[in-house]
Amino acid sequence: MTLPASKASDPRSIAGLPGGSTLLATTQQQISRAAANLNLDPAIVAELQHADREIMVMAPVKMDSGEWKYFLGYRVQHNNALGPYKGGLRYSPNVDFAEVRALAALMTWKCALLGIPFGGAKGGIQVDPRQLSDDELYRLTKEYTRRLLPNIGEHVDIPAPDMNTSDREMAWIVEEAGRQLNRPVPGIVTGKPLSHGGNPGRKEATGNGIGTVTVELLKRFGKAPAESVVAIQGFGNVGRHTALYLAKQGCIITGLSDISGGIYKADGLDIAAIDAHVATGKLLDTYQEPGVEHIDNAQLLRLSVDVLIPAALENQITTDVVTDLKARSIVEAANGPTTLAAQDELARRGIPVVPDILANAGGVCVSYFEWLANTSDVTWTLESTRTELAKTMYNTFQTVRERSQATGRDLRSAAYEIALQRVAKAMEERKEGRKAAE
Ligand code: NAD
C-alpha cells in the first residue's frame, strides 16, 4: 500500500498547508510518530492526516454605526469514527484554516484518549472581539450559526466555548439554532448557561482537570501540593480555574500572567484577591499586592518552579525557552503550547510534560456529561460532576503513565498511541462493516 502524498496543493492536507502553522506541523508529526510506534495500517494513517470536512462561511454583520462588515468563520470536522464531531469555537484575529485544522485533530485524540464517544472538530471566527460591541458580537454569532447550521447538530457536530467565547455565545447559538429548526436543541452546543441546559461544573472543568493531573504529577516527585511551587501563563477561563484549584490544594503559585504581562511573588500570590481583581474586568498589569513584582511573559516562562503551566496560546514553549527553563515539569493547559523542537529537547533532558490532549481534557469530559443530560435522562449535580471528572482524569493519567513506563517513551507519545489505537480500531471496524455490506 502506498501512502497518498501530502502535497502543498492539496487544500485539505494537514501536512502540506501553504503557510501551514507550526501547530499544524506539530500535530502531524505526533500522529506520524505514534503511528510508526504502533505499526498502523498506512491507509488509516493517511486518512487521519486529513479532516473529514472543512467549512468556511462569510458572515455579514451590520455594525452599530450602520456600516456592514464581513467576517470569515471556519469549522473543521476532523474525524467522527468514535462519535459526533466535538470541539470549541474561538474568536481571534489570528484564526485561520491551519490553526483550526490542527485544533480539530487534537480534539479527536483528546476524546479518544478520555474514552468518550465523540470525534474531533474545531471552529473559529476571524475577529478581535474587543473591537466589537456586545450587540455586534451577538449578531455575528447568530449569523455564523445560521450559515453553519446544516453542518452542526446534537448528533452531528457539537461546538463549545474556547478562546474569547463563553456560555454567553453558546446561549446565543442554542437560541438561534432552535429558532431556525423550530424546536429546542439544547444538545447542539455544550458550555451553555445553566438556564439553557448547561452543567453546573462546566466552567471550572478544564481547570479542575488540569489541577487533578498536576497533583498526580507532583506525587511522582514525592511532593505534597503545599510544598510545590507553580507558575501559570494565562489567566482566562482555564488559567484562572487551574490557579483556584491548585491554590485550594495548598500549592504556592508564585507567577501568573495574561496578555498585559505577569506578576510574581516569591512566597506565593493571593489567588482569591487576584481572581476578584480580574472579575471586575481588569488585567494583571493593574494588580497590586505588597511584595508583588511585575514581570513579562518571557520571565514568567523562565521562573524556577516545580510545575510550569502554559494556559494561554499555542507555541509558547520554544527551544529558546527550554534552553533557559528552570521548571521541573510542564503541564500543557493550552492546546499546542510546545513546539515540536521544544518537545524533543524536553524529552532529551528528561523533563516530564503532561501533554495537552490529556491535561486539558476536563472541559470536553464535562461537556460530555452536559450533552448526555441534554440528550437522555441523566442529571448532574456540581458534586457528581466534580467526582466523575476527577475519576476520569485520574484514571486517564494512570493509563498514560503506565503505557509510558511500559514502552519507555514519554507521556505525550503514550497518550497519542492510546488515542490513535482507539480511533484506528473504530475505523478498521467501520471498514469491515462496509465490506460486509458490499
Ligand atoms: P480565555 O480567552 O478565557 O483566556 C486566555 C488567557 O490568555 C487570557 O488571560 C489572556 O489575557 C491570555 N493571553 C492571551 N495572549 C497572551 C499572551 N501573549 N501571553 C500571555 N497570556 C496571554 O481562553 P481559555 O478558554 O482560558 O483558553 C486558553 C487555552 O486553553 C487555549 O489554548 C484553549 O484552546 C485551551 N483550552 C480551553 C478549554 C476551555 O474549556 N476553555 C478547554 C481545553 C483547552
The CATH number of residue 72's host domain is: 3.40.50.10860
Ligand 1 atom nearest residue 191's Cα: 40
* Residue 366 domain flag: no
* Residue 373 domain flag: no
Cα of 407 from ligand 1 centre, angstroms: 33
Give the CA radius of gyration of the chain.
Answer: 21
For the segment 371-386, the average pLDDT, to the nearest whole number, is 95
Whether 211 and 195 map to the same domain: the answer is: no
Q: How far apart (Å, rounded) are the C-alpha atoms in residues 328 and 257?
A: 19
Supply the pLDDT for residue 10: 35
Cα of 313 from ligand 1 centre, angstroms: 6
Domain end, chosen from 354, 380, 407, is at: 354
Q: What percent of the chain has pLDDT over 90?
A: 88
The CA dihedral of 322, 325, 328, 334, to the nearest 10 degrees, is -60
Residue 135, sorted as left (phi over 0), alpha (psi -120 to 50) or beta, turns out to be alpha
Domain end, chosen from 150, 166, 200, is at: 200
Grid cell in block for residue 326: 528552570
Probe target for ligand 1 pocket from 237, 271, 295, with the most ligand atoms within 8 Å of CB: 237
For the segment 286-310, the average pLDDT, to the nearest whole number, is 97
* Residue 26 domain flag: no
pLDDT of 351 over the 50 cut:
yes
Supply the pLDDT for residue 5: 35
Whether 78 and 219 map to the same domain: the answer is: no
Confidence class for position 25, pLDDT limits 50, 70, 90: confident
* Residue 160 domain flag: yes
For the segment 67-89, the average pLDDT, to the nearest whole number, is 98
* Lowest-pLDDT choice from 16-20, 146-150, 231-235, 306-310: 16-20
* Residue 361 domain flag: no
Supply the pLDDT for residue 433: 63
* Residue 190 domain flag: yes
Confidence class for position 27, pLDDT limits 50, 70, 90: confident
Supply the pLDDT for residue 6: 34
For the segment 65-85, the average pLDDT, to the nearest whole number, is 98
Grid cell in block for residue 87: 470541539
Cα of 335 from ligand 1 centre, angstroms: 9
Q: How far apart (Å, rounded) are the C-alpha atoms in residues 374 and 190?
A: 9
pLDDT of 17 over the 50 cut:
no
* Any atom of ligand 1 within 6 Å of the Cβ of 363: yes
Supply the pLDDT for residue 434: 61
User: pLDDT tens digits, residue range 29-65?
Assistant: 999 999 999 999 999 999 999 999 999 999 999 999 9
Ligand 1 atom nearest residue 103's Cα: 34
Give the number of domains in the chain. Answer: 2
Whether 74 and 184 map to the same domain: the answer is: yes
User: pLDDT tens digits, residue range 166-193?
Assistant: 999 999 999 999 999 999 999 999 999 9
Ligand 1 atom nearest residue 364's Cα: 42
Whether 192 and 251 map to the same domain: the answer is: no
pLDDT of 16 over the 70 cut:
no
* Residue 81 domain flag: yes
Domain that holds residue 177: 52-200
Whether 224 and 348 map to the same domain: the answer is: yes
Whether 148 and 242 map to the same domain: the answer is: no
Whether 271 and 164 map to the same domain: the answer is: no
Q: What percent of the chain has pLDDT over 70?
A: 94
Domain end, chosen from 200, 216, 244, is at: 200
pLDDT, mean over the chain: 93
Confidence class for position 28, pLDDT limits 50, 70, 90: confident
Cα of 6 from ligand 1 centre, angstroms: 31
* Any atom of ligand 1 within 6 Å of the Cβ of 162: yes
Whether 65 and 84 map to the same domain: the answer is: yes
One-character DSSP codes across 346-401: HHHTT--EE-HHHHTTHHHHHHHHHHHHHHSS----HHHHHHHHHHHHHHHHHHHH
Confidence class for position 431, pLDDT limits 50, 70, 90: confident
Give, using CA atoms, the residue closest to atom 4 of ligand 1. 236
**DSSP 8-state class, residue 408:** T
Probe target for ligand 1 pocket from 106, 259, 385, 389, with the most ligand atoms within 8 Å of CB: 259
Supply the pLDDT for residue 111: 98
Whether 140 and 233 map to the same domain: the answer is: no
* Any atom of ligand 1 within 6 Å of the Cβ of 236: yes
Supply the pLDDT for residue 436: 63
Q: How far apart (Å, rounded) are the C-alpha atoms in residues 424 and 35?
A: 10
More confident residue, 3 or 112: 112
**In the block, which residue shows the cell 493571593?**
270
Catalytic annotation, pick one of 86, 110, 122, 192:
122
CATH number of residue 222's parent domain: 3.40.50.720
Whether 228 and 182 map to the same domain: the answer is: no
Whether 273 and 315 map to the same domain: the answer is: yes
Is 122 a residue of the active site? yes
For the segment 1-9, the average pLDDT, to the nearest whole number, is 32
For the segment 218-242, the average pLDDT, to the nearest whole number, is 96
Ligand 1 atom nearest residue 361's Cα: 43
Cα of 20 from ligand 1 centre, angstroms: 21
Nearest CA to 256 out of 215, 211, 309, 216 is that of 309
pLDDT of 424 over the 90 cut:
yes
* Any atom of ligand 1 within 6 Å of the Cβ of 165: no
pLDDT of 380 over the 50 cut:
yes
Confidence class for position 435, pLDDT limits 50, 70, 90: low
One-character DSSP codes across 188-213: G-SS--GGGT--TTHHHHHHHHHHHH
Tally: H helices and E strands in the chain: 15, 12
Give, using CA atoms, the residue closest to atom 21 of ligand 1. 258
Whether 213 and 137 map to the same domain: the answer is: no
* Residue 386 domain flag: no
Asked whether the beta carbons of 400 and 415 are under 8 A apart, the reply is yes
Could you give phi then psi for residue 65, rounded to 5 degrees? -75, -10
